[in-house]
């Protein structure tokens, strides 16, 4: 059955259907129609593309803003039958959050640090206590006070000086991820005049307590392109650039080793990295190159004692661990500590004086491997669930036998543990409290494997409430990403309970392009193998239908950013498979974006998508780019979201895409575009404001399913 604007679902009574139809007649709403203005791109590789919605790129054009506002109004109108339900959903989502809450404290350099929230407040308070948890509280930053008068406010990169007297932090009030670094005197409460604009927000103190290293962004492309050095009290305009990354396919960053002995500058692209290091006691010294960049050579470094430790893909597709002397850091001196394994991906290390903890991934699941550096004995932590995520948490002190780690699953709320690596005893320090009576025993999680068309087994993580019937009549939301080697973890979400309690199953397709099954999994879903990402997702959807978890009439898909590209591709390839699709901040105009080097992130992603200045890359990406492949045919119901100030995927990509879909589609299904006029890629900044976006998404799904309470 084709879905109409008010879907006639079995769950709705005949009377309710008649009421809905009358409401639709009364609305008599026509969707916004974007003006068509021919824009012809210069010919490339003998091909000329025309974009009639290119004019939407000009955010300073009042007609553009008017169009976006008209789309927002249309979305509100079309979902007006569930307006009250949407508001109740927001309150329901908010009601599961413990409003007065705080993080598990951690100890660093003589102080206990933690973050807490006050009842009814959107933003955190960053706090500390001297010596122990019973000492008087010092509020370093109350972001609620700082955010007054701003529609968007985000604080990142808190960084306390070694003498504990100053804190540096970054502030973004626009949502373009261009942060201004501020410095506050924690003894006097005075905010220093040293405001450093156009940074990533993070910073690193030298050991002299007055020199601050930070990363500057290119003003137009937003690429992190240089490391500067700031002296307290100096005019930021006089700050010296200590490293400039000339290659525009690379970005740069700076941090301090866990040992606090070295300032380290990293620089990297998708497939290559390079590091420089400097004695943190000598901030005016010259940085030394650790090992010069090489094509396809990735490595990360940290320091302990008389050695540097290196996680690298040097002759090791799934990475291995090496060590090298402090004065001989070139790869010819690297000595293997943990060898490469074909079935295990080494994702990172955490160093302690007497231990090292390896973050690994096997069969798509995260593992924590504890190695005693003195005895050589080792063991793994056991987690005992079919689908979960475990990760190293905050461990700032080298001299510790306690490993703090986090654990969560599709049914287990976020949990923080302290694990004694000597005694092997673990202590649950905190588990996320979910208000409203949530009981994990009422929910079931499964791990499935769909078979892709080329025979590859693709993992699926799945959760539903007990009583869910596998009869093909239940609604299911399938989520996917599949890019940049990012593994999508089966984590807990209190928001998701609103779906599960209303009969939905929720599934994650761990498709190629991520790194769940090792480095090869990523390589098989990028560049000229990108289409594997899309066909894997389609095959996962078909498998779930075959296994009677759902049907085409009840299958929904969702993805954001590069996952929005996934959504655009799968609705072009298999529009008949989905009842509805949510595409959040979607990257959908691949060719135009990758040809425009002035757009943030473009040049740094040639190794992910290809460089369309090369004919073969151009033709391949054009063959799947969602915007270039919109056709006259029926498409599923769709909700598309974006942010006017998005720095990752510019708002005009989804805006143009929706305009073109509206022109071309032959169905009467819903097509909605919602633009947050105050936010960017990550949505709203407050912990409650962000829930309005979730309520909109869920209301859309429930509307299509005929669920009204």
- Whole-number Å distance between alpha carbons of 606 and 541: 30
Judged on CB neighbours under 10 Å (0-12, 13-18, 19+), 513 is: buried
- Candidates 151, 187, 148; CA nearest to 167 is 187
Of 273, 409, 461, 561, which is the active-site residue? 561
- Candidates 5, 52, 48, 63; CA nearest to 627 is 52
Question: Cα 572–575–577 angle (5° rounding)?
Answer: 135
Of 182, 230, 510, 681, which is the active-site residue? 681
- Candidates 303, 214, 299, 289; CA nearest to 260 is 303
Phi, psi of 467 (to 5 degrees): 105, -10
Give yes or no: 303 in active site. no
Give yes or no: 668 in active site. no
CB neighbours of residue 38 within 10 Å = 9
- Candidates 331, 248, 349, 335; CA nearest to 293 is 331
Residues linked to residue 263 through DSSP beta bridges, in sequence order: 256, 278
Q: Are 540 and 460 in contact (CB under 8 A)?
A: yes
Tokens for 698? 């869920």
Tokens for 404? 């703090």
Give yes or no: 561 in active site. yes
Give 144-147's long-range contacts (Cβ < 8 A, gap of 24+).
Answer: 144/118, 146/171, 147/122, 147/123, 147/685, 147/686
Q: Are 267 and 245 in contact (CB under 8 A)?
A: yes
* 132: DSSP letter: S
SS (H, E, C) 218-247: CCCCCCEEEEEEEECCCCHHHCEEEEECCC
Tokens for 387? 């689908």
Tokens for 644? 């006017």
Residue 460 CA, distance from chain mean position: 19
DSSP string, 76-109: HHHTGGGHHHHHHHHHHHHHTB-SSEEPPPEEET
Show Cβ contacts of residue 80 under 8 Å, excluding neighbours closer than 6 positions: 23, 27
| Alpha-carbon separation of residue 526 from 12, 255, 270, 513, 596 (angstroms) | 43, 29, 11, 6, 20
Edge to edge, the sheet with strand 355-362 lists: 345-351, 355-362, 365-372, 378-380
Of 302, 524, 539, 646, which is the active-site residue? 646
- Whole-number Å distance between alpha carbons of 126 and 364: 35
Helix (H, G, I), strand (E, B) or coil at 57: helix
Sign of CA dihedral 58, 197, 300, 486: negative
Tokens for 424? 């092997």
Tokens for 91? 């309150």
Which positions are annotated as active-site residues?
561, 646, 681
């Amino acid at each position: 059955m084709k879905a109409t604007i008010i879907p006639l679902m079995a769950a709705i009574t005949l009377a309710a259907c008649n009421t809905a139809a009358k409401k639709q007649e009364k609305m008599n709403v026509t969707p916004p129609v974007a003006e068509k203005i021919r824009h012809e791109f210069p010919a490339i590789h003998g091909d000329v593309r025309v974009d009639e919605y290119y004019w939407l790129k000009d955010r300073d054009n009042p007609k553009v803003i008017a169009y976006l506002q008209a789309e927002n109004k249309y979305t509100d109108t079309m979902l007006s039958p569930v307006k009250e339900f949407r508001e109740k959903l927001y309150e329901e989502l908010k009601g599961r959050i413990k409003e007065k809450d705080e993080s598990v404290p951690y100890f660093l350099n003589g102080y206990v640090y933690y973050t807490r929230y006050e009842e009814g407040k959107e933003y955190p308070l960053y706090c500390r206590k001297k010596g122990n948890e019973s000492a008087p509280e010092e509020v370093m930053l109350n972001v609620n006070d700082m955010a007054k008068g701003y529609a968007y406010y985000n604080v990142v990169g808190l960084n306390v000086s070694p003498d504990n007297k100053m804190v540096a932090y970054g502030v973004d009030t626009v949502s373009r991820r261009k942060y201004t670094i501020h410095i506050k005197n924690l003894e006097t409460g005075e905010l220093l005049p040293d405001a450093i604009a156009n940074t990533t927000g993070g910073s690193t103190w030298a050991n002299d307590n007055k020199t601050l290293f930070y990363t500057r962004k290119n003003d137009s492309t937003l690429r992190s392109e240089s490391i500067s050095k700031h002296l307290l009290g100096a005019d930021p305009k006089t700050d010296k650039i200590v490293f400039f990354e000339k290659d525009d396919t690379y970005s740069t960053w700076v941090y301090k080793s866990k040992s606090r002995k070295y300032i380290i500058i990293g620089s990297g692209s998708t497939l290559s990295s390079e590091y420089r290091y400097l004695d943190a006691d000598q901030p005016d010294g010259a940085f030394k190159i650790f090992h010069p960049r090489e094509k396809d050579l990735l490595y990360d470094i940290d320091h302990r004692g008389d050695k540097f430790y290196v996680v690298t893909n040097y002759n090791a597709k799934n990475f291995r661990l090496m060590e090298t002397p402090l004065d001989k850091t070139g790869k010819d001196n690297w000595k293997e500590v943990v060898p490469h394994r074909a079935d295990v991906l080494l994702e990172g290390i955490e160093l302690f004086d007497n231990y090292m903890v390896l973050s690994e991934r096997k069969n798509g699941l995260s593992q924590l491997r504890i190695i005693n550096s003195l005895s050589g004995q080792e063991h793994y932590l056991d987690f005992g669930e079919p689908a979960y995520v475990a990760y190293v948490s905050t461990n700032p002190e080298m001299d510790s036998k306690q490993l703090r780690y986090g654990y969560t699953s599709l049914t287990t709320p976020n949990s923080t543990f302290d694990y004694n690596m000597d005694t092997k005893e673990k202590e649950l320090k905190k588990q996320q409290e979910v208000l409203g009576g949530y009981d994990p025993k009422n929910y079931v999680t499964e791990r499935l494997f769909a078979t892709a068309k080329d025979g590859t087994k693709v993992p699926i993580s799945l959760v539903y409430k007990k009583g869910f019937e596998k009869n093909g009549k239940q609604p299911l939301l399938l989520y996917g990403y599949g890019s940049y080697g990012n593994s999508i973890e089966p984590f807990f979400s209190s928001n998701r309970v609103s779906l599960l309690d209303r009969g939905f199953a929720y599934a994650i397709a761990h498709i190629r392009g991520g790194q769940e099954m090792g480095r090869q999994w990523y390589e098989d879903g990028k560049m000229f193998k990108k289409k594997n990402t899309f066909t894997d997702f389609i095959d996962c959807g078909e498998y779930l239908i075959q296994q009677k978890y759902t049907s085409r009439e009840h299958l929904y898909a969702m993805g954001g950013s590069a996952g929005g590209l996934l959504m655009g591709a799968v609705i072009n390839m298999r529009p008949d498979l989905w009842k509805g699709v949510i595409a959040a901040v979607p990257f959908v105009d691949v060719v135009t974006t990758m040809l425009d080097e002035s757009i943030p992130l473009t040049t740094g992603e040639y190794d992910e998508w290809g460089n369309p200045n090369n004919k073969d890359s151009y033709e391949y990406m054009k063959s799947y780019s969602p915007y270039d492949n919109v056709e006259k045919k029926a498409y599923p119901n769709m909700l598309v979201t974006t942010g006017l100030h998005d720095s990752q995927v510019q708002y005009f990509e989804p805006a143009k895409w929706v305009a073109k879909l509206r022109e071309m589609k032959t169905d009467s299904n819903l097509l909605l575009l919602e633009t947050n006029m105050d936010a960017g890629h990550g949505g709203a900044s407050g912990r409650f404001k962000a829930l309005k976006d979730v309520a909109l998404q869920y209301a859309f799904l429930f509307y299509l399913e005929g669920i009204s309470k």
